[in-house]
Amino acid sequence: MVEKLWGSRFDTQPPKEFISFISGRDVTIKEGSDFRLVPYDVWGSRVHVIMLVEQSIISKEDGKALILGLREILNKWEKGEFKLEPEKEDVKLGMEKAGKLHTGRSRNDQITLDMILYLREESLVLLEKMLILIRSIVNQGKKGMRWVMPGFTHHQHASVTTFGHIFFSFAEALIRDCIRLEAWYRLFNRCPLGGAAGYGTSFPVDRKLTAELLAFDGPTENSLDPINNRWEPEAHIAFVFSAFMNHLSTIAQTLILMSTREFNMIRLDDRYSAGSSIMPQKRNPVGLEIIKAKAAYIAGALSTLLSIGQSLMVGYNRDTQWTKYIIMDIIDEVFSIPTILKGIIESLSVNRSAMELQCSSGFITAPALMEYIIQKWDLPFREGKILMEKAVKFSEKEGKERITLKGLKAASAETGIILNITEKEIEEFQQPSRIVSLLKIIGGPSETSMREELASLSRRIRSHKRWYVERRKSLKSARDLILKKEEEILSS
């Protein structure tokens, strides 16, 4: 259960969505899964009716009645007045009176369609949220392009980098998640309608027409395939979210550690922490912890989806009904995360001096100095390394955690490698920001590199946004076409 969150000391109140986020499913009531499918079911049914009329499978009169009936259901649903009843079995039975709706359609193609419409919509909604999150991460990275800090390996300091470089690395990973989500969309943007129970129908249904009216790239190439695989769009998108969540869990864990008293590199905002009124410095990173839990949740759910879809006999099996609940749970868990994480990231404050301080000890700058020496005096890598190891040893004896001129000279003497290096040079090339400026490789932490990456990131984000907008347009056009065709029927 939710802890007492915000002691009286906290100045600002947490956003409502954050409270809801961290209270998880403690008090949330979850609707039956079919409830959210109503609009998709109505959408598909309207298209089916139009096609039945155009193919003269049912009369225009019947078509009119059905269109009006379906609109009424949708209307009720939008007002929150629509009720699902188990004995009525499902959404569609609200229309049972108008039995013709079932001509040339079976529950199998119907529910498969509902699910793909639902998932397609959610994929777009989440894509947009993800892009907003990425932009926010890139922004933080941009701000932090010159904030030096230790680059970690094994939780230990490995070399000098910048806050921005790390954030850019986060952004890159999330862009792959967008690419995956779009690839999912393209792969499954095919209409199953007309496949009936999987083996087709002798009614002359026009699968191309229904596919077009629903903004699909066409009908599925085989009527049975989507029925056999009523776990696959679900498992595939679950994998996309699972990879996404893994990326976020690493961001979360990194921020959790950076915000400990010991690291003291960042501070989460009051609004995004749970605290203690008695230990005012305590800032429990509960939002980030939950993100980690959700990453584990979604990977487990993916495992279920794959398992349900394993070793099934060909054709529909009720086992796959459960994929519906699982993917909806996944989407519910992922849904609010981008917004929350964006809030956390945008509101955190950075302790630049603490980060910089950590760049001045533990000989973290010695490797950079070594690279400088090797290049300037054209030493073989191996000699440079031996020289530096000895310099470390001598400098350490002085009680230092960075290379001293004296230490380096002693090393020089011992190895016989002659360097006319100055104190100034030694200082300069152990100066964190100077070091960073040398890391000019593509994708590296120098400002030069980061400015290039920033341009590239922005370009790519824009291009994904464009893709998103195009999808929305295409959906809009298809909806308009439905309305137009319905009006033709209604007014005939």
Just list the catalytic residues. 154, 276
Residue 218 CA to residue 207 CA, distance in Å, equals 8
Interface size with a second copy, residues (CB under 8 A) = 196
Q: Which of residues 26-55 bind a second copy (CB under 8 A)?
A: 26-35, 37
The least CB distance from residue 306 to a second copy, in Å, is 4
The least CB distance from residue 311 to a second copy, in Å, is 4
β-sheet bridge partners, residue 283: 275
316 binds a second copy (CB under 8 A): yes
Residue 233 CA to residue 323 CA, distance in Å, equals 10
220 in the Ramachandran plot: left (φ > 0), alpha (ψ -120 to 50) or beta? beta
Contact flags string 403-432 toward a second copy, x per CB under 8 A = ------------------------------
Q: Structure tokens of 371?
A: 């690279």
462 binds a second copy (CB under 8 A): no
360 binds a second copy (CB under 8 A): no
250 binds a second copy (CB under 8 A): yes
Q: What is the DSSP string of 210-244?
A: HHHHTT-SSB-SSSSHHHHTTTHHHHHHHHHHHHH
Figure out which of the listed residues 42, 345, 370, 482 binds a second copy, where binding follows CB under 8 A: 370
Q: What is the DSSP string of 155-203?
A: TEEEEEEEHHHHHHHHHHHHHHHHHHHHHHHHHH--B-TT-TTTT--SS
Figure out which of the listed residues 144, 195, 343, 432 binds a second copy, where binding follows CB under 8 A: 195
Answer for the pair 160, 435: CB distance below 8 angstroms, yes or no.
yes
Figure out which of the listed residues 54, 64, 103, 475 binds a second copy, where binding follows CB under 8 A: 103
The least CB distance from residue 338 to a second copy, in Å, is 18
- Region from 240-248, 334-342, 344-352, 411-419 binding a second copy, contact rule CB under 8 A: 240-248
Residue 340 CA to residue 130 CA, distance in Å, equals 11
385: CB partners within 8 A, 6+ apart: 370
Figure out which of the listed residues 81, 382, 424, 491 binds a second copy, where binding follows CB under 8 A: 382
Figure out which of the listed residues 219, 343, 407, 432 binds a second copy, where binding follows CB under 8 A: 219
The least CB distance from residue 129 to a second copy, in Å, is 21
The least CB distance from residue 211 to a second copy, in Å, is 9
Residue among 297, 295, 181, 180 at smallest CA distance from 248: 295
- Region from 43-51, 121-129, 159-167, 480-488 binding a second copy, contact rule CB under 8 A: 159-167
